[in-house]
Homo-oligomer: A and B are copies of this chain.
Amino acid sequence: MNIYDISKKTGFSTATVSRVINGSASVSEKTRAKVLAVIEEYGYTPNVFARGLGLNTMKTVGIMCSDSSDRYIAKAIYFLEEYLRKAGYDLILCCTGRDHSVKVKQMKLILSKRVDAVILVGSSYVEETDELNAYIVEAAGSVPVMIINGILNAPNVYCTVCDDHLAIYEITRKLLESGRKSPLFLCNSSSYSAKKKIRGFKDALEQFGIDHPDEHILTVYPPNKTGMVNYVRDRMIEADPDTDCIIAAEDMLAIGALKFALSKGARVPEDIAVTGYNNFDLCECCEPELTSIDNKLEALCEKSVSSLMQIFSDNARSVPKQTVYSCELVERGTTCFGK
């Protein structure tokens, strides 16, 4: 929604709309009321000040995320805030949840604030179909869209990801090479990132000639974050999978898996090895401590902001459309690889 749209909607010239916006006295009350009604309806908030000065920036970036209390997202917001502020930009935060219609609505709202760019945090923004991603592509028509931990190929969309596929492929291979026979992949979502991880797991199984990979995947659906660890433990006790190594898509899931292993009297890592993903501080809270995968979140955030600054300085051609980092295995007590 810009001044031309308002002109079209109201039937008044852009000059008239502009006069209303600038509070000019030479506009009739009726005209003024009509223009304001349309502005209200569509949530248009021009930065008249910036335009009046010939500036074209509010120095504000909109951050959209599904849930800012999620540990991964909270850390991402922290790093983004730090790097954006260093670059002289403010951050408007918007939590959308996972409902598609809410995301679409919030994207409109955030663009109406005349942000200079939008950063989408977390893998939950990139969907399967072009139709579902249309609002992102459309947003990228007005401002650069940066995606952290998701890939969408569209003009003016820049993606920074960690190679989840490779990380899970390598940890699975490492476990199989060290003599494990029955790997289990434990996950709780079907996001872009989760799919990459599953693919990595299946590729490793294929390489080692393990058939029916789907039988080695257990998906759990914890109702919410409170009580997640014990929910996972209980679902696993019910399912009672026959496994000697559990590769979890996320640290909290892994701790649930560890509790399952210990609850049935297995020795960890001797009888059952467990690995997490994200390498959060809670890896140190359990016993044995959790082996996990560091997915370089700070590097992703820093890269995303520095790319954005390059784009702002009219140097978009030198910014890669996709930047992929490698993860790093952090070994702790829940694994022991042959020496």
Type the 1/0 row for A62-95, where 1 means its CB is closer than 8 Å to any CB of B: 0000011101001101110110010000111111
Query: Which residue of B21, B53, B54, B81 contacts A93 across the interface (Cβ within 8 Å)?
Result: B81
In the assembled complex, the Cα of A67 lies from the Cα of B81 at a distance in Å of 10
A135-143, A172-180, A280-288, A311-319: which lies at the interface: A280-288
Query: Which residue of B75, B90, B229, B284 contacts A284 across the interface (Cβ within 8 Å)?
Result: B229
In the assembled complex, the Cα of A91 lies from the Cα of B109 at a distance in Å of 13
User: Max chain B CB contacts within 10 Å: which of A69, A92, A226, A230?
Assistant: A69
A42-50, A123-131, A146-154: which lies at the interface: A42-50
In the complex, the answer to whether A82 meets B53 with C-beta atoms within 8 Å is no
In the assembled complex, the Cα of A253 lies from the Cα of B42 at a distance in Å of 50
Chain B residues, Cβ within 8 Å of A21: 49, 52-53
Q: Does A255 make an interface contact (CB < 8 A)?
A: yes
In the complex, the answer to whether A90 meets B92 with C-beta atoms within 8 Å is yes
Query: Which residue of B48, B93, B255 contacts A285 across the interface (Cβ within 8 Å)?
Result: B255
Type the 1/0 row for A230-274, where 1 means its CB is closer than 8 Å to any CB of B: 100000000000000000000010010001001000000000000
In the assembled complex, the Cα of A78 lies from the Cα of B46 at a distance in Å of 28
Q: Does A36 make an interface contact (CB < 8 A)?
A: yes
Q: Does A223 make an interface contact (CB < 8 A)?
A: no
In the complex, the answer to whether B52 meets A81 with C-beta atoms within 8 Å is no
Chain B residues, Cβ within 8 Å of A49: 21, 45-49
Q: Does A30 make an interface contact (CB < 8 A)?
A: no
Chain B residues, Cβ within 8 Å of A286: 285-287
In the complex, the answer to whether B113 meets A93 with C-beta atoms within 8 Å is no
Minimum C-beta distance from A77 to chain B (A): 5
Q: Does A338 make an interface contact (CB < 8 A)?
A: no
Query: Which residue of B67, B226, B227, B252 contacts A78 across the interface (Cβ within 8 Å)?
Result: B67
Q: Does A195 make an interface contact (CB < 8 A)?
A: no
Q: Does A23 make an interface contact (CB < 8 A)?
A: yes
In the assembled complex, the Cα of A52 lies from the Cα of B282 at a distance in Å of 52
In the complex, the answer to whether A225 meets B69 with C-beta atoms within 8 Å is no
Minimum C-beta distance from A14 to chain B (A): 14
In the assembled complex, the Cα of A200 lies from the Cα of B69 at a distance in Å of 29
In the assembled complex, the Cα of A52 lies from the Cα of B36 at a distance in Å of 11
In the assembled complex, the Cα of A92 lies from the Cα of B285 at a distance in Å of 33
With A21-B52, A285-B286, A286-B285: A95-B78 Cβ-Cβ less than 8 Å: yes
> With contacts A46-B49, A48-B48, A69-B74 known, what are 12 further pairs, Cβ within 8 A?
A21-B49, A22-B48, A23-B51, A23-B52, A47-B49, A49-B49, A67-B78, A74-B78, A78-B95, A226-B281, A285-B285, A287-B287
> Could you tell me which A residues sit within 8 Å of B by CB distance?
21-23, 36, 45-49, 51-54, 60, 67-69, 71, 74-75, 77-79, 81-82, 85, 90-95, 113, 225-230, 252, 255, 259, 262, 281-282, 284-287
List 8 A-B pairs, Cβ < 8 Å: A22-B48, A36-B53, A69-B79, A78-B95, A93-B93, A229-B281, A229-B285, A285-B286
